[in-house]
Structure 1
Amino acid sequence: MADKEGARKLKKLAASLSSAYFSPIPYWLGMPVSEMYDWVDTANEMNKEREHNRKQQQRGKKR
């Protein structure tokens, strides 16, 4: 049962990265898991920067 759960988490991670980077799921499934997590960190940083910039733009429009 634990193997199924691990495989499901890996597939979900690959699907999330595929969506974030507009790339095929098999690309991510062929990558070492540690490298996948590095890409997750990068995507999270990019999302934080986008959100920060979006908030800055909204503040500028309210003035």
Structure 2
Amino acid sequence: MAFHEDDSRIRSGYAPQNMAVIRHMALNLLSRESSAKVGKKAKRLKAGWDNTYLTTVLASTG
């Protein structure tokens, strides 16, 4: 529960499935990024605080 899914108010239509795909993609990108030797939670927080690191995560190739 890395993204507080239980607190989400997305309940109808295809929105829950779409958000699940987006969350899965985000976790995969964090897993592939290798410049920071920390866990996924720390990487997620760092990407939220540091736009340069966020760009690194989005551009990472593994």
The TM-score normalised by the length of structure 1 is 0.47
Compare relative contact order (CA 8 Å, sep 6+) and give the higher one, 1 or 2: 2
The structure with more radius of gyration: 1
